[in-house]
């Protein structure tokens, strides 16, 4: 699935390129977009007591993006176990056609008290959707 957006001026730094910290925000936007399109909006999951905290982020920056560039972020599920979720990203600068970033985020599922849970046991209907998209991505 591809998420697309335009780079805003305030997301750039003194070198006139996107500040490295903003790429993490872009990945989060893409992840939320991806989950919405899966039929699992994050706000609905939270309403049902399911949290998906970020355990880690790994990014390799390849080529910079600048103000008003259009970026595209390809989002895929790399690994899903019912307890753990790893999402991978490939960010391409549509304006320049250059690969700008490759990365991944690691997550787990918890209840609203931050106690780890298994979606397979607690929310089998959500688990089925994650499994379906994991197969599509792999």
**Active-site residue set:** 13
Q: Where are the alpha helices (DSSP H) in 9-105?
A: 20-38, 42-47
Q: Where are the alpha helices (DSSP H) in 2-123?
A: 20-38, 42-47, 119-122
Q: Report CA 18 to chain centroid distance, whole Å.
A: 18
Strand order in the sheet with 70-80: 2-6, 70-80, 84-93, 98-108, 54-61
Angstrom distance (rounded) from CA 129 to CA 63: 34
């Amino acid at each position: 699935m591809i998420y697309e957006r335009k780079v805003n001026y305030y997301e750039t730094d003194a070198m006139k390129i996107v500040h490295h910290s903003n790429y993490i925000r872009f990945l989060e936007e893409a992840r939320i977009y991806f989950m919405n399109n899966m039929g699992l909006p994050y706000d609905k999951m939270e309403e049902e007591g399911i949290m998906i905290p970020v355990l880690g982020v790994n990014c390799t920056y390849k080529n910079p993006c600048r103000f008003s560039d259009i970026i595209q972020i390809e989002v895929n599920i790399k690994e899903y176990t019912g307890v753990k979720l790893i999402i991978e990203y490939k960010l391409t600068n549509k304006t320049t056609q250059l690969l700008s970033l490759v990365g991944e985020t690691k997550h787990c599922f918890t209840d609203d008290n931050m106690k780890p849970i298994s979606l397979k046991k607690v929310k089998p209907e959500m688990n089925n959707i994650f499994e379906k998209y994991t197969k599509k991505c792999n």
